[in-house]
Amino acid sequence: MEILLMNWRPSHVCKTRTLLALVFCMWVSMEVMAGTENATHSSARPSTLNIGALFTFHSVIGRAAKPAILAAIEDVNSDQSVLRGTKLNVIFHDTNCSGFLGTVEALQLIENDVVAAIGPQSSGIAHVISHVVNELHVPLLSFGATDPSLAALQYPYFVRTTQSDHFQVYAVADLVEYFGWREVIAIFVDDDYGRNGIAILGDALAKKRSKISYKAAFSPGASKSDISELLVGVNLMESRVYIVHVNPDSGLTIFSIAKALGMMTSGYVWIATDWLPSHLDSLNPPGPDTMNLLQGVVALRHHTPDTDLKKRFMSRWSKLKHEGSPSFNSYALYAYDSVWLAARALDDFFNEGGKVSFSDDPRLKDTNRSTLHLTSLRIFDGGQKYLQTILKTNFTGVSGQIEFDQDKYLVRPAYDILNIGGTGSRRIGYWSNSTGLSVIAPEILYKKPFNKNTTAQLYSVIWPGEVTATPRGWVFPNNGRPLRIGVPYRVSYQDFVAKDKSPPGVRGYCIDVFEAAVNLLPYAVPRTYVLYGNGKRNPEYSDLVFQVAQNNFDAAVGDVTITTNRTRIVDFTQPYMESGLVVVVPVKQAKSKPWAFLKPFTYQMWLVTGAFFLFVGVVVWILEHRMNHEFRGPPRQQLITICWFSFSTMFFSHRENTVSTLGRLVLVIWLFVVLIINSSYTASLTSILTVQQLTSRIEGINSLVSSNDPIGVQDGSFIWKYLVDELNIAESRLVKLKDMEAYIKALTDGPRRGGVAAIVDELPYIELFMSTTKCAFRTVGQEFTKSGWGFAFQRDSPLAVDLSTAILQLSENGDLQKIHNKWLTHNECSIQLNDDEDDRLSLTSFWGLFLICGIACFLALTVFFCRILFQYRRFTPEPVEVDVEEIGPPNPRSRRSLRSTSFKDLIDFVDKKETEIKHMLKRKSNDGKDEASPSTDRQPRSRS
């Protein structure tokens, strides 16, 4: 036993040692692999990363951005769910509001191998720095550069983490449209931020049919005297709607000077972009002196939803102190979210296998002996991938949803519309890119179905001067010059407009309408009337309108027709008189003629009517002849009866009575036809005997155009050009007529004696002309154009809109008609003018009646003859079978006479009275019964 134990123990110890050795080797291998994995992980996620912050520290935006960035860095580093094991380090550089210093600071910042840069706030510096980061592949996250042009493809590494001014100026354009203004004046700082924002504003206003009437630009460092001089010039202009797009640090200077110049009173409109709320929010609170400068101003502020995340951030803001009391505005929220965007994107970048490494730029090695350390600038190798990760990042920050669309804009841009008054401001509505102006928050509207027909809404606004009525937005220029109004110096039709010796120097219907409309305006309109023309002939009205378009006149008042070509160069008011082109021809009184009674019907109508009288008489005679003794007698008497009965129905005086049903049916229909014919004849004859008749063959514009006769037109009128261009009438056919006497002479002489066949002119002139000439001339046809008279103003003149409203008011209260009656009430030519041939009634108007009567006669005759044939068939005896052997050889002539009846017998049968026929048929029926009665049977004859 001992020997066995001794042999087993050494063997067991060896196996145990071997097993332990294997376990130790496996453990060492696992530790080595774990160390390698840790080393790899450590290299992919460095312990520290640098990001830069580039902005002006002592600015309105900078004072709010710096504590927000520091708070975001602290929150990111303390959050274990983001950048596990990696600490963010922020490097601040102050740009000092200088493009040059900003560029130098940017280069120094990137020397520190930053993976992202937060800032800048200045759009001008952003343009320069964007070229640097493009070269070194470092994403630039700007929370303050709002210049719309930075969204260009030229700057791929520029990522805007705030709203672009592209959307803000469209919000301003919607405000301008909402309040009904057409012209604004833009006051802006002349740098990239100001110029590019106002350029987009001009495009936005153009889509709303508005415009920037003047761009008042000043340099970034302009002095108060420069700004004062600028505002003095602006105040002399017509528009009173000012869009202020400047920097927060210098913007209040504008309102201070405007207050001193009296430009913050009633009638003025001031709209400020987001710079003003940012400045006011940074003041905690703003002083009364500051608020007094801004009473009635409307401003836009970035809209950030009131989420719990934002509320928690706001509650801790007072604890975030850095270099004194920190100021807060919406840019602080965007700066805070910019840091979180960089951190979340870095976390996703590492999770996708990204590595942070930098390489030298070979193009920066040759510095041409420069002492600048350009070789220290290195390219971020993973910059492109990191940029794409940033653009794909989506999270909810303190400013709202952080998500980018395909154009690198933040989704759902929105603004608060504020009205500053008292000691603060109140929100009067919202604007968003999707819903426009509304009093409901955009985040609520996004949850509802989109409706394009939603009407824009805002709460009431208290404007400068503490007025609630919306200012009209313009005044007459405060330079002492009244409106120069051109008035046509007419030679003819001076009831409409003419020269006058007493003030204001002109008189007439058009002048009274204009004066009455101006008196209804809520403001004074200084004006001076200037006669246009030499007084020897009517001026060219198109030239007068062109003078208005060329700014030689402020307006044209008179009998100016609104035409398409004229509306292309000037603006017209609402028409105050309807007009249209008509054709005038001479007329004469119709003379009585012996055969005038034949004119109502054409000869075809007379022939058909007479034929139907005879036809109906014959039909009634046929239907009544067998049973009515009044329609019987000798042939001569019956012929007289037919003719008398036929034509006596015209006067419903026929003495013969109808007894048959068919005859009465035909007679009733015929009497209805006669009634219509008599009524039409009487009406047409009355019209022919009382109407005036034409002395020419012209029946309207169509016949005038197709002829070769000369045509008269009023001197100075647009009608000459219209007839030539639109109706293709040769100019050789047109004759200019100077005055009313020329009208009368030309129409009286006619084409054969050097006159004209007709005159084409506007209806108001022609009505006055015909009334003055005691209706010796008349219009033919219808008005072939529809237009009106209006007052012409320069394009986009607000006075045209106000006067249009005043003209409508004159029309509604009856004053316009009173002015018309004062100047233009004359004897009216109320008798309508028609041609002879147009008054005559043709067969076309009555063929339907004749057709109905003819069908009734045909049906009545058909029924009558069917009845006759049926009676005649019963009356005629059946043909008798004859034995050939008894009678002899057949005779064709005799067979035909046996089997057929003669036409004479049929006529004789028809001519018999109905009572005789019935008696004969009754007797024949009785004879037939006697033959069919039973008799003795005949015995069969025996054959021999």
Structure tokens at 769: 């002309």
Distance CA 896, CA 893 (A): 5
User: If you search the block for the tokens 């020397």, which residue do you land on?
Assistant: 111
What's 831's DSSP letter?
S
Check residue 876 and give its pLDDT: 63
- Cα 359 to its chain centre, rounded Å, is 59
Check residue 323 and give its pLDDT: 46
Catalogue the long-range contacts made by 312-316 (C-beta closer than 8 Å, 24 or more residues apart): 313/71, 313/398, 316/71
Distance CA 547, CA 811 (A): 29
Check residue 565 and give its pLDDT: 92
Kindly indicate the confidence band of residue 491, based on its pLDDT and cuts at 50, 70 and 90: very high
Structure tokens at 856: 């009734």
Check residue 590 and give its pLDDT: 55
Kindly indicate the confidence band of residue 571, based on its pLDDT and cuts at 50, 70 and 90: very high
Check residue 371 and give its pLDDT: 56
Distance CA 613, CA 670 (A): 9
Mean pLDDT computed over 693-707: 79
Residues with Cβ within 8 Å of residue 884, at least 6 apart in sequence = 890
Of the chain, the percentage scoring pLDDT greater than 90 comes to 45
* Residue 605 pLDDT exceeds 90: no
Distance CA 698, CA 704 (A): 6
* Residue 376 pLDDT exceeds 50: yes
Structure tokens at 855: 């069908």
- Report strand pairing: 140-142 vs 158-160: parallel
Mean pLDDT computed over 663-673: 81
Kindly indicate the confidence band of residue 826, based on its pLDDT and cuts at 50, 70 and 90: low
Q: What angle do CA 152, 158, 164 make, to 5 degrees?
A: 65
Q: From 243, 159, 148, 160, select the one nearest 196 (Cα to Cα).
A: 148
Structure tokens at 494: 């001076």
Residues with Cβ within 8 Å of residue 385, at least 6 apart in sequence = 349, 352, 354
Please report how the helices 635-648 and 603-624 are oriented relative to each other, as an axis angle in degrees rounded to 10.
Answer: 130
- Report strand pairing: 571-572 vs 792-793: antiparallel
* Residue 15 pLDDT exceeds 70: no
Check residue 122 and give its pLDDT: 87
Kindly indicate the confidence band of residue 681, based on its pLDDT and cuts at 50, 70 and 90: confident
Q: How many CA atoms lie within 13 A of 860 on its CB side?
A: 26
Mean pLDDT computed over 174-181: 93
Q: What angle do CA 572, 575, 579 make, to 5 degrees?
A: 120
Check residue 604 and give its pLDDT: 84
Distance CA 674, CA 928 (A): 50
Mean pLDDT computed over 761-765: 92
Check residue 30 and give its pLDDT: 44
126 in Cβ contact with 145 (< 8 Å): yes
Distance CA 529, CA 517 (A): 16
Structure tokens at 696: 């020419």
Q: What separation in angstroms does the CA of 496 have from each of 508, 558, 814?
A: 5, 7, 19
Mean pLDDT computed over 816-830: 81
166 in Cβ contact with 200 (< 8 Å): yes
Q: From 768, 749, 897, 753, select the one nearest 820 (Cα to Cα).
A: 768
Check residue 694 and give its pLDDT: 55
Q: What is the pLDDT of residues 422-479, one digit of tens each?
A: 988 999 999 998 889 999 999 888 888 766 667 888 999 999 999 999 998 888 776 5
What's 813's DSSP letter?
H
Phi, psi of 116 (to 5 degrees): -160, 155
For all residues of the chain together, what is the average pLDDT? 82
Check residue 108 and give its pLDDT: 85
Of the chain, the percentage scoring pLDDT greater than 70 comes to 80
| DSSP symbols for 367-405 | -TT--S-GGG-EEETTHHHHHHHHHH--EEETTEEE-B-
Distance CA 339, CA 118 (A): 7
What's 536's DSSP letter?
S
* Residue 325 pLDDT exceeds 60: no
Element (H, E) at 941: none
Distance CA 64, CA 281 (A): 10
Distance CA 626, CA 628 (A): 6
* Residue 357 pLDDT exceeds 50: yes
Check residue 83 and give its pLDDT: 87
- Report strand pairing: 581-588 vs 758-762: antiparallel
779/167: higher pLDDT: 167
174 in Cβ contact with 436 (< 8 Å): yes
Kindly indicate the confidence band of residue 387, based on its pLDDT and cuts at 50, 70 and 90: very high
Is-cis flag, bond preceding 504, omega within 30? yes
Kindly indicate the confidence band of residue 7, based on its pLDDT and cuts at 50, 70 and 90: very low
Q: Which residues pair with 400 in a beta bridge?
A: 397
Mean pLDDT computed over 707-723: 92
Structure tokens at 250: 């210098």
| DSSP symbols for 610-650 | HHHHHHHHHHHHHHHTTT-GGG-S-HHHHHHHHHHHHHHGG
Residue type for position 324: G
Distance CA 691, CA 674 (A): 26
Measure the CA dihedral 552/802/265/422, to 10°.
-150
Q: From 53, 68, 75, 76, select the one nearest 282 (Cα to Cα).
A: 68
Structure tokens at 376: 């220290």
What's 202's DSSP letter?
H
The torsion region of residue 600 among left (phi > 0), alpha (psi -120 to 50) and beta comes to alpha
273 in Cβ contact with 299 (< 8 Å): yes
Structure tokens at 101: 């210093």
944 in Cβ contact with 658 (< 8 Å): no
What does the chain come to in residues?
944
Check residue 778 and give its pLDDT: 85
Give the range among 124-133, 304-313, 886-895 with minimum mean pLDDT. Answer: 886-895
* Residue 261 pLDDT exceeds 90: yes
845 in Cβ contact with 785 (< 8 Å): no
Distance CA 200, CA 143 (A): 20
566 in Cβ contact with 722 (< 8 Å): no
SS (H, E, C) 414-469: EEEEEEEECCEEEEEEEEECCCEEECCCHHHHCCCCCCCCCCCCCCCCCECCCECC
* Residue 157 pLDDT exceeds 90: yes
Element (H, E) at 489: none
Q: From 438, 401, 448, 443, select the one nearest 417 (Cα to Cα).
A: 438
Residues with Cβ within 8 Å of residue 918, at least 6 apart in sequence = none
Kindly indicate the confidence band of residue 839, based on its pLDDT and cuts at 50, 70 and 90: low
Q: What is the pLDDT of residues 842-868, one digit of tens each?
A: 777 788 888 888 888 888 888 878 877
Q: What separation in angstroms does the CA of 314 have from each of 72, 327, 417?
A: 13, 12, 21
* Residue 354 pLDDT exceeds 60: yes
Q: What is the pLDDT of residues 119-142, one digit of tens each?
A: 898 888 899 889 889 989 999 999
Distance CA 741, CA 684 (A): 36
Distance CA 473, CA 184 (A): 8
Q: What is the separation, in whole angstroms, between the first and last Cα of the chain?
A: 176
* Residue 31 pLDDT exceeds 70: no
Mean pLDDT computed over 915-932: 63
545 in Cβ contact with 793 (< 8 Å): no
772, burial (CB in 10 Å: exposed 0-12, middle 13-18, buried 19+): middle
Q: What is the pLDDT of residues 87-110, one digit of tens each?
A: 999 999 988 877 788 888 888 888
Q: What separation in angstroms does the CA of 742 have from each of 141, 603, 718, 732, 885?
A: 81, 42, 18, 18, 110
Element (H, E) at 874: helix 847-875
Check residue 225 and give its pLDDT: 93
Mean pLDDT computed over 607-626: 80
* Residue 23 pLDDT exceeds 80: no
Structure tokens at 518: 């101006």
Q: What is the pLDDT of residues 908-921, one digit of tens each?
A: 666 666 666 666 66
Check residue 53 and give its pLDDT: 93
